[in-house]
Structures are given as structure tokens and as C-alpha cells.
Amino acid sequence: MKYLKTVHTEAGNVSDIVNRLALSHPHISFEFTHQGKEVLRTSGNGDIRQVIASIYGRNVAKKTISISGRSLDYEITGFVALPELTRASRQYMSIFVNGRYIRNYALARAIQDGYHTLLPIGRYPLVVLAIDMDPKLIDVNVHPAKLEVRLSKEEELGQLITQSIKEAFEKQVLIPAADIQKRTEFKPYKSEQVAFNFDQVQEDRKEIEALPQVKEESVEPNSVNPSIKPIENDYTKAYQHDKTNQEIEEVVEVSREEKQPVALKSHSESPAPVSQEEVSDRIPALYPVGQMHGTYIIAQNETGMYLIDQHAAQERIKYEFFREKVAEVDASVQELLMPLTFEFTTQEVATINEHIDELNAVGVFLEVFGSQAFIVRSHPTWLPKGHEEETIREMIDYLLLHRKVDLAKLREEAAILMSCKAAIKANRHLRQDEMFALLESLRKSSDPFTCPHGRPILVHFSTYALEKMFKRVM
């Protein structure tokens, strides 16, 4: 008994074991009591989502989506939490192989790769993943407690997990709703606020045009400075066209307790300047209203109000641009007028000399400069401008740590760095046409919900939420 810890610590350890058993065997009913109080009870009806609700709460279970995947050797099923729901440690990633709970860093890394840029730095997802495989493909005699295992074709399994998670999120609209008090039950209500009708703008404009016009003398811009031209581009035309002629059809996905906007598809009688095929339907059409503190764009549509972080929005746009640009570059290098010098320890020099061919393959050519230093006379053209030395240092450090160079990872980090430097900063006031152009470019992004660092780009305030804040509905 002297090796036992406090009552609360031991109860927590027992609770953790029971939770894992309940998640791996949802068809069995579990009941756990501590000091006469019920801590956990599951129904045993085989629904993993109900087990998640019993352990983590109903709100967490509602923010999970199912995933599935299959290959010749593996079959995976489970639930993953939406990117807005994160935790500070990896212990909330529960992985089960043939009903047995395991810990495997490679599979946990594959789960994080599935989220890619959807997670903030230092945050981890909540995942329940069940893997079925032939027992011959697993070696459980690695850890005394049988927690760590060795898997055959581990890389193939990791790719299956990553791809399954990515495919699941591609079908979702990941716009987080404003954090307000949820309704306990759905009741039809009569709104005190008149619904904003975007089609009414066209009729109002016709009435205004019918009124007698008053001519005012004004100075033509070109008469003052011929180089100054009125701002007129495809985005401004598209904005005026959408405001006057566009009809918006809302597609609403009904959840268990409330309605969430999923997508808005716009159809126009005449061809719009912006091709609708290029615009993603994962994010609705947004109409900018104004800007707050030169940082957040306020936009609206028929479903409510949206707040958009302008820096995060353009960072996502620039990231996808640089990611394609960096991936398509050739093996050309930029010669340096002044070579870069890097110094290392004797052990690091030996490791670099052993793997120097891998650095040469990615365009980094090191020349011996003394006993413990190397110089670089050229570098790949895709390195971020102004951060060449820092990036080469990271490549060498990665080589020293992993004994290889991951070119895809380095180019990914370079794209993130370049997008962050090129994006507009806070306290930058934008014109109406600039805001609309930014929102339209965001709609064309493949993942318009988070910046490359995982921070959310936009937050949605539904009409009901706003009316409840102002006590228009009770």
C-alpha cells in the first residue's frame, strides 16, 4: 500500500483506464462510481459518440465528425473533433488497435498531419480512432505494459489516417459560431427585427434612379493628376453586380438542437465578372459593412454577421499562392556575392559530411572552410527572401536531428514564413472595394477557415444570436 498515491490520483488513474475500455468497447455498458458518486455510465448500445458524450460531455460530442478509411491491410473508423475544439496535450488522442489501447508517436503525428494548418501551434485534437488489422502485422512485445507496439507498414497506415481526416474536413464548413448561451430546446420564434433582403436593394435603386437628378460641379480626378485613375476592377464590378442583381439561396444543415449555416450558392441572371466555378461554396457570400480598429472586417449576409481577421485571411491566401509557387520551382540556385558561413562542433561536422549528398540534392552546397566550418556560395531560389541564412540553418539542424532532409516540410515552412511576411498587418484601414476583394479571394481558397498557424479567420454571429443578445427574443 505504500506505493499507492493519494485517493484522488488513484481514482483519476482508474477513471482513465475505464474511459479507454468504454471507448474501445462501446457495445458493453460501463459504470464507475467513486465514494458513492457516479463518475461514468455508458449505455452499451454500440454508439461511440454516446460514449464520447458520457466521458467528455455533450457539447464535445456534438463537435465531432466521423471518419473511415480502408486499405488492403488496415481499416480505420472513429471520430475526430472539429479544429475549434483543441486540448493542451496529446492524451486526448485515443488510438485502439484491434480493441487494445496503444500509444504510438508516428500515428499521433499522422493525426496531426490530417489537421495540417487547422490547429493552433501547441494545441492537439480530441480523437477516438479504432484500427482493425491482421494480428500478424503488429508486435506487442515492445513495452512491459503492452502500450507501445511495433506496426508493419506503419508509414502506409499513417498516410491512410492523414488522408481520411483530410477528406472528412473537406466536406465540412469550419466557421466557428460566436460563443453564446445555447438554447435548451428549439422553439419557433417571431423576430422583432425585419429580415434584411438583399434583393430589395435592386428595387430601391430603381426608385432612386427615377428621381430627378441634381447636377453638382466636381473636379475630375484626371484634371488634377493624369496619373490618377478611378478605381475600377473586377472585384468592384462584382461587388456592385452582386448587391443589385444576385439572388442568394441558403442551404441549411439542421443539427440536433440548432440550425447552422452551411453554404450559400449564388445564381445570377447575367454572367458575373467573378467566375462562380472558382469561388468555393464552403464559405458563404459575404458583403463587407465596415472595419473595426483597422484589423477586423465586419461583413453580413442573410444568415447574420461575420467578423473576419484581415491579416489571417490574407495570410491564408498568400500561403496557398506561395505553396504552389514554391512547389513548382526548378532546381535553379541564386549565386551569392558574399558567401554565408556556418560553424559546427566536431561531431556535427562528421554527421554533415556523412549526409552531405542529401543537402546537395536540395540545392544546398556546403564547402569546407577550416576544420569546423562550412561556407555556402549559392542557395535555392525558392528560399524566402531575407531569410535565406535562417532557412539553410534550419535545414542543417533538421539533418543533424533526423539524419535526413525533408524537402516537402522545408518548403511548407518557407511558404508559411513568406505568407506571414507578405500579409497585411493590423491597423491597416481598407477601402470598401479592398475588403470585398479580400473576401472574394478568401472564398477561392481551398481551406478558408484558418491561417497557416491554425488561428481562425472568421467567426459567425447568427441573426438569432444577435437578437438574443439584445433581448429581442427570450
* Strand ranges in 284-329 using DSSP code E only, listed in sequence order: 287-292, 296-301, 304-309
pTM of the model: 0.63
List the one residue out of 268, 311, 263, 320 whose CA is nearest residue 291. 311
Q: Tell me whether strands 37-41 and 458-462 are parallel, antiparallel or unpaired.
A: unpaired
Please tell me the distance from the alpha carbon of residue 158 to that of residue 142, in angstroms, as a whole number: 19
pLDDT at 101: 93
pLDDT at 418: 79
pLDDT at 215: 43
**For the segment 409-420, what is each residue's pLDDT rounded down to a tens digit?**
777 877 888 788
For the chain, what percent of residues have pLDDT higher than 90?
A: 40
Which grid cell is 255?
443539427
| Distance between start and end Cα atoms, the chain | 57
- CATH architecture type of domain 175-181+232-329+382-474: 2-Layer Sandwich (3.30)
Kindly state the average pLDDT of the residues 100-113.
92
DSSP-derived letter for residue 214 is P
DSSP string, 230-269: ----HHHHHHHHHHHH-EEEEEEEE-SSSEEEEEEEEE-S
pLDDT at 207: 52
Kindly state the average pLDDT of the residues 190-207.
49
Q: Which residue has the higher pLDDT, 66 or 399?
A: 66
**For the segment 362-400, what is each residue's pLDDT rounded down to a tens digit?**
778 899 998 889 999 998 887 777 878 888 888 888 788
List the one residue out of 234, 114, 210, 200 whose CA is nearest residue 162. 114
**CATH number for region 63-172:** 3.30.230.10
Q: Reply yes or no on whether the pLDDT at 68 is more than 70.
A: yes
Which grid cell is 375?
561556407
Cβ distance 127 to 94 under 8 Å?
A: yes
Which grid cell is 204?
430601391
pLDDT at 231: 42
Q: Reply yes or no on whether the pLDDT at 252 is more than 80.
A: no
Q: Reply yes or no on whether the pLDDT at 282 is more than 70.
A: yes
Residue 342 vs residues 339, 369, 372, 374, 386: alpha-carbon distances, Å: 10, 9, 9, 5, 17
Q: Which helix (H) or strand (E) holds 28?
A: none
Confidence of residue 1 (pLDDT cuts 50, 70, 90): low
Among 328-337, 340-349, 376-385, the least confident range: 328-337
Among 123-132, 169-178, 204-213, 298-307, the least confident range: 204-213
Can you give the residue ranges of every domain in the chain? 1-56, 63-172, 175-181+232-329+382-474
Q: Reply yes or no on whether the pLDDT at 302 is more than 60.
A: yes
Highest mean pLDDT among 264-268, 403-407, 467-471: 467-471
Highest mean pLDDT among 264-278, 290-304, 370-384: 290-304
Residue 387 vs residues 42, 146, 255, 381: alpha-carbon distances, Å: 54, 45, 47, 12
Please tell me the distance from the alpha carbon of residue 297 to that of residue 307, in angstroms, as a whole number: 6
